Amino acid sequence: MTTWRDELLEAIKTRVEREAEEETKRIKRLEEALKVAEDALLMAHENLRFTQEQLLVKEQLATVTPAGDAATLELHGQTLTVDLDRAGAILKVAANGSRPREFDFAKDRHISPKDVEEYVGRRALEMVRAAHKIAPW
């Protein structure tokens, strides 16, 4: 419970002090969100590698191209890309160059790495089904 003294100290802060406190809080939230986003990126990369391994068992030429905070799975002209924007803790998932689905970990604190794993897995499944229609195996 705050006392009148605490409230007084809060009330007399300058605009610069308030903005500095907000900036500190924003940076801390972003750092926490980035940790969760990195976990989600690792799970997404694992999904792409798993998909590639399963396709290679069926003798399908699937390639995963990692590039730092991004990776692309390609199969028969179909692509699935996962990319992490560290500046905003946003993970982007795009299929075949379409507009990416963005997971904004800084704004949506309820998103978990499992949510991203499920989404990437479903997009990989759709990609495999589309590639199978193009070139049945």
Q: CA–CA separation, 23 vs 104, rounded Å?
A: 18
> What's the mean pLDDT when you consider all of the chain?
94
Structural domain boundaries, residue 64? 4-134
Confidence at residue 97, expressed as pLDDT on a 0 to 100 scale = 87
Its pTM surpasses 0.85: no
pLDDT tens-digit readout, 105-121:
999 989 999 999 999 99
**Residue 30: pLDDT above 90?**
yes
Domain count, the chain: 1
pLDDT tens-digit readout, 79-104:
999 999 999 999 999 999 899 999 99
Confidence at residue 137, expressed as pLDDT on a 0 to 100 scale = 85
Q: 1 falls in which pLDDT band (50, 70, 90)?
A: confident
CATH code at position 49: 3.30.920
Tell me the one-letter amino acid at 80: L
Question: What tokens does 130 get?
Answer: 């589309």
**Residue 28: pLDDT above 90?**
yes
Average pLDDT over residues 21-36: 94
